[in-house]
């Protein structure tokens, strides 16, 4: 039976762990809590003697491909980038939600829609906890869901909790899967989850195994993802210089085809994502999922006009929520004005998805070569 020891050898040592937190969450929720997140955000043994060698942390890790075929079957995945039942461009009907949203505020509008209808008791989101700081959060009220709208560059998730070394580090990552523990503690059984493609993947593997907290996640809302970025004061200063702005005048940050820095004076600075390559988390260079292929609905800004969100429906459930919210909480783009917009948006997502897969394949080949050379 392969256990966390094998995850260290096969995933952590080659640098493939993207800190989704799945292994720690599962072990804590179901077993005796042999694992914890370390100072550097990586999972590690907390009390090795509590490990019962069940092997489940190994099976659910998105970097381990044991459950891949089963998970793909479960969500009716098909090439090249997962199941697609429809693509649309939309925005929140409520001006307050729209103003707070990263793009069109669609994720928040749908969460509020589900909450108001009594379809969910809460949602795992990621809220701001200070200037440029964000933390995963099980939101259980309307106001809490609304508070978590948007996307910011934030202090590295909880690193200030663990270590002063990381207190100056900024990151786009929020270990939302870890918040599943709260779902169990609060005994909620109908929760929506918002997260990056790797986090959705980890949840789906837990679901494929029939693991308890994952069964409480009824709606999987995935965000498109080029990568997560970690950066410190030096990189922040460089971005300020290249983009000609100061961080204290930044209202919102967004990643689309470029990094978009929205300033309080209404101006937007755009920086090519190449400038962020050196700040990209190492494991993200090996990731091949751009469009949250295992979600019920996937969301991103690319392909959509400013202030709108591109939405891909991937499951009948996702499609039904969209249809239900359309015309009340969601405003769909008027396609009479641009009949090809949804088609172009999907083509753009496919192009970025393909780019990410090609890059990940090349990186994996390099890694295999270096492993063979060392052997
Ligand atoms: C790390 C990251 C990288 C991204 N890269 C791209 C990209 O390359 N191209 C692209 O088109 N779109 C990207 N997105 C998605 C995009 O930023 C928007 O989240 C998406 O378009 C939805 O916008 P919205 O206005 O509809 O959502 P909103 O209504 O603003 O809701 C966003 C939801 O996401 C949650 N959230 C915010 N940050 C995080 C986080 N770090 N981890 C988990 N949940 C979070 C919020 O709590 C909120 O519930 C990325 C998102 C993230 C978090
Ligand atoms: S108890 Fe199971 S889930 Fe926890 S570390 Fe050991 S093998 Fe992994
Ligand atoms: S489950 Fe997630 S956090 Fe755990 S080893 Fe795998 S990638 Fe890393
Ligand atoms: S690129 Fe995005 S989805 Fe992939 S490992 Fe990094 S954070 Fe996760």
Summarize pLDDT for 310-320 with one digit per residue, the tens: 999 999 999 99
pLDDT of residue 135: 76
Do 79 and 201 belong to one domain? yes
Quick one: 211 and 323 in the same domain?
A: yes
**Cβ 175 under 6 angstroms from ligand 1:** no
**172 C-beta closer than 6 A to ligand 1:** yes
pLDDT of residue 170: 61
The answer to whether residues 364 and 251 belong to one domain is no
In a domain, 2, yes or no: no
Average pLDDT over residues 39-59: 89
Q: Is 214 within 8 Å of 203 (Cβ atoms)?
A: yes
**In the chain, % of residues over pLDDT 90:** 57
Please indicate, yes or no, whether residues 258 and 218 belong to a single structural domain of this protein. no
User: Within this chain, do residues 209 and 348 fall inside the same structural domain, yes or no?
Assistant: yes
Same domain, 297 and 350: yes
**Atom 2 of ligand 4, residue of closest alpha carbon:** 227
Q: Give yes or no for residue 19 CB within 6 A of ligand 3.
A: yes
Q: Which of 308, 296, 295, 293 is nearest to 344 (CA)?
A: 308
Distance 259 CA to ligand 2 centre (A): 39
Sheet holding 170-171, edge to edge: 230-231, 170-171, 154-155, 133-139, 122-130, 191-195, 217-223, 297-300, 309-313, 86-92, 330-332
Residue 266 domain boundaries: 230-279
Residue 48 resides in a domain: no
- Per-residue pLDDT at 162: 32
107 ligand 1 Cβ < 6 A: yes
* 101 located within any domain: yes
Beta bridge partners of 37: 43
Q: Same domain, yes or no, for 180 and 296?
A: yes
Contact 3, 43 (CB under 8 A): no
Q: Does some domain include residue 32?
A: no
Query: 78 and 213 in one domain?
Result: yes
Q: What is the mean predicted confidence (pLDDT) over 47-58?
A: 91
Helix (H) or strand (E) holding 37: strand 35-37
pLDDT at residue 232 above 70? yes
d(CA 157, CA 164): 13
86 shares its domain with 234: no
Q: How far apart are CA 13 and CA 184, in angstroms?
A: 31
Whole-number pLDDT of residue 144:
94
Cα–ligand 3 centroid distance for 303 (angstroms): 31
43 part of a folded domain:
no
Residue 197 shares a structural domain with residue 262: no
Assess if residue 84 is contained within a domain: yes
pLDDT score of 166 more than 70: no
Task: State which of 212, 245, 279 marks the end of a domain.
Answer: 279
Ligand 4 atom showing the smallest separation from residue 283 Cα = 5
Considering only 135-139, 203-207, 300-304, 370-374, which range has the smallest mean pLDDT?
370-374
- Regarding the beta carbon of 52 and ligand 2, being less than 6 Å apart is answered yes
Reading phi first (left if > 0) and then psi (alpha if -120 to 50, else beta), residue 41 is in left
Of 9-18, 157-166, 310-319, least confident by mean pLDDT is 157-166
Q: Tell whether 18 is covered by a domain.
A: no
Q: Which ligand is nearest to the CA of 35?
A: 2
pLDDT in tens, 67-85: 999 999 999 999 999 999 9
Residue minimizing CA distance to atom 6 of ligand 2: 51
Percent helix, strand, coil in the chain, to 5, is 40, 20, 35
Specify whether 189 is located in the same domain as 260.
Answer: no
- Considering the domain architecture, whether residues 91 and 194 belong to the same structural domain is answered as yes
Does 8 reside within a domain? no
> What is the whole-number distance in angstroms between the Cα of residue 271 and the centre of ligand 1?
18
The number of domains in the chain is: 2
Residue 222: CB within 6 Å of ligand 4? no
Cβ neighbours of residue 248 closer than 8 Å, sequence gap 6 or more: none
């Amino acid at each position: 039976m392969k256990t966390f020891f094998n995850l260290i050898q096969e995933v952590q040592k080659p640098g493939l762990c993207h800190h989704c937190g799945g292994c720690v969450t599962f072990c804590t929720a179901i077993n005796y809590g042999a694992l914890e997140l370390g100072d550097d955000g990586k999972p590690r043994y907390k009390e090795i003697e509590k490990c019962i060698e069940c092997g489940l942390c190994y099976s659910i890790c998105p970097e381990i491909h044991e459950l891949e075929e089963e998970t793909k079957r479960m969500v009716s995945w098909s090439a090249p980038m997962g199941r697609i039942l429809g693509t649309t461009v939309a925005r929140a009907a409520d001006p307050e939600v729209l103003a707070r949203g990263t793009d069109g505020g669609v994720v928040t509008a749908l969460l509020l829609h589900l909450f108001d209808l009594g379809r969910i008791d809460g949602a795992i989101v990621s809220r701001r906890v200070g200037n440029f700081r964000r933390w995963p959060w099980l939101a259980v009220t309307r106001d809490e869901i609304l508070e978590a709208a948007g996307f910011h560059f934030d202090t590295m998730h909880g690193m200030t909790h663990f270590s002063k070394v990381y207190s100056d580090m900024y990151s786009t990552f929020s270990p939302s899967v870890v918040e599943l523990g709260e779902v169990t503690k609060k005994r909620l059984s109908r929760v929506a989850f918002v997260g990056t493609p790797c986090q959705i993947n980890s949840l789906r593997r837990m679901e494929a195994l029939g693991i308890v907290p994952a069964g409480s996640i009824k709606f999987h809302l995935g965000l498109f993802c080029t990568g997560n970025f970690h950066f410190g004061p030096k990189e922040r200063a460089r971005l300020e210089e290249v983009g000609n702005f100061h961080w204290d005048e930044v209202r919102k940050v967004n990643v689309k085809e470029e990094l978009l820095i929205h300033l309080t004076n209404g101006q937007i600075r755009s920086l090519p994502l190449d400038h962020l390559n050196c700040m990209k988390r190492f494991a993200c260079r090996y990731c091949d999922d751009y469009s949250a292929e295992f979600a019920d609905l996937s969301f991103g800004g690319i392909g959509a006009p400013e202030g709108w969100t591109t939405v891909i429906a991937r499951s009948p459930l996702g499609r039904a929520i969209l249809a239900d919210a359309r015309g009340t909480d969601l405003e769909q783009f008027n396609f009479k004005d641009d009949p090809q917009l949804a088609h172009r948006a999907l083509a753009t997502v496919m192009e970025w998805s393909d780019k990410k897969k090609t890059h990940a394949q090349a990186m994996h080949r390099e890694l295999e070569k270096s492993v063979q050379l060392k052997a």
